[in-house]
């Protein structure tokens, strides 16, 4: 005969065992994850061993570490080599003393250029500005060139001779930049066929004169033509168009040598 009390006790035990079954599944899952990570780690270790074996074989073939070291793999204490990330060299920055000296030189240059413009009554055809990029001289078209031409006027040569003499007192790089208005270029007898070409030809003419006649080092210079694409004012009146036809000579600050306009 079955004992009711005993049946109730067995039922409680069974209920307790069923409630703990999820722990078995959970532990199996944790175990599988642990095995997975162990396998992944072992695979990565194998790859590393293969790499070291390859490098060691190359080193033996070349009979030394010198070639591998040149490739960025310095020799280790164990005779093997380990990869290293090449260190990128940063551009040499100017010291505070060099920057102060450069600023002092350009300040003195600005004073001399300003005095020359004033003494020779060149305003407003020539303007001078001190910008973060450098000391900038801006020449209106009329002082250097005839309309639509890139040949230097004869009366512009004394101006460039004096400017070149002052520029020779500093070692800084010089950018010569040409600009035009947006009037379509027309000329049947010229090798120049666009405002872009005209602006570049004018900048090159000024640069060549400074190099050839004033004996300034060519490696200090570069020229560029912007055509009609960088106006200082809108091309809506003849006066504004005349302002946009210009040539800039920019003495570049040393710390901004690689800075584009």
Together in a domain, 40 and 108: no
pLDDT at 186: 82
The three-class DSSP label of residue 222 is strand
What pLDDT, in 10s, does the model give residues 144-191?
999 999 999 999 999 999 999 999 999 999 999 999 999 998 876 678
The three-class DSSP label of residue 69 is helix
Secondary structure of 1-63 as H, E, C letters: CCCHHHHHHHHHHHHHHHHCHHHHHHHHHHHHHHHHHHHHHHHHHHHHHHHHHHHHHHHHHCC
Looking at the structure of the chain, the number of domains it has is 2
What is the distance between the alpha carbons of residues 36 and 48, in angstroms, rounded to a whole number? 19
Work out the percent of the chain whose per-residue pLDDT is above 70.
65
Give this prediction's pTM: 0.63
User: How many CB atoms within 10 Å of residue 197?
Assistant: 18
Q: Is pLDDT of 77 > 50?
A: no
Residue 161 sits in a domain of what CATH number? 3.30.1330.60
Together in a domain, 52 and 117: no
Which own/partner pairs from 228-235 qualify as long-range (CB within 8 Å, at least 24 positions apart)?
228/179, 228/180, 228/181, 228/182, 228/195, 228/196, 228/199, 229/196, 230/179, 231/179, 231/181, 231/182, 235/181, 235/182, 235/183
Cβ proximity of 168 and 216 under 8 Å = yes
Together in a domain, 18 and 137: no
Helix (H) or strand (E) holding 109: helix 96-119
76 confidence band (pLDDT: 50, 70, 90): very low
pLDDT at 135: 98
What pLDDT, in 10s, does the model give residues 18-63?
566 666 777 777 777 776 767 676 665 545 555 565 556 545 544 4
Together in a domain, 66 and 105: no
pLDDT at 217: 96
Show the domain range for 62. 4-70
Domain-embedded: residue 103: yes
Domain-embedded: residue 90: no
Together in a domain, 164 and 225: yes
């Amino acid at each position: 005969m079955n004992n009711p009390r005993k049946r109730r006790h067995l039922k409680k035990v069974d209920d307790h065992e069923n409630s703990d079954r999820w722990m078995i599944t959970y532990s199996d899952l944790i175990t599988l994850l642990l095995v997975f990570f162990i396998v992944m780690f072992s695979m990565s270790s194998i790859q590393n061993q293969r790499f070291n074996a390859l490098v060691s074989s190359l080193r033996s073939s070349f009979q030394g570490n010198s070639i591998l070291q040149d490739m960025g793999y310095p020799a280790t204490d164990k005779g093997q080599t380990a990869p290293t990330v090449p260190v990128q060299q940063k551009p040499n920055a100017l010291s505070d003393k060099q920057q102060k000296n450069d600023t002092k030189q350009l300040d003195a240059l600005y004073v001399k250029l300003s005095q020359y413009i004033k003494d020779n009554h060149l305003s407003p055809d020539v303007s001078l500005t001190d910008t973060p990029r450098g000391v900038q001289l801006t020449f209106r078209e009329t002082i250097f060139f005839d309309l639509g031409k890139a040949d230097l006027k004869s009366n512009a040569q004394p101006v460039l001779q004096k400017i070149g003499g002052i520029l020779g007192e500093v070692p800084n790089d010089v950018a010569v930049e040409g600009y035009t208005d947006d009037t379509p270029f027309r000329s049947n007898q010229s090798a120049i066929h666009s405002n872009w070409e005209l602006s570049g030809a004018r900048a090159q003419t000024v640069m060549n004169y400074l190099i050839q006649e004033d004996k300034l080092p060519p490696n200090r210079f570069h020229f560029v033509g912007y055509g009609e694409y960088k106006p200082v004012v809108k091309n809506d009146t003849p006066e504004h168009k005349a302002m946009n036809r210009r040539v800039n000579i920019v003495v570049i600050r040393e710390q901004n040598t690689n800075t584009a306009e």
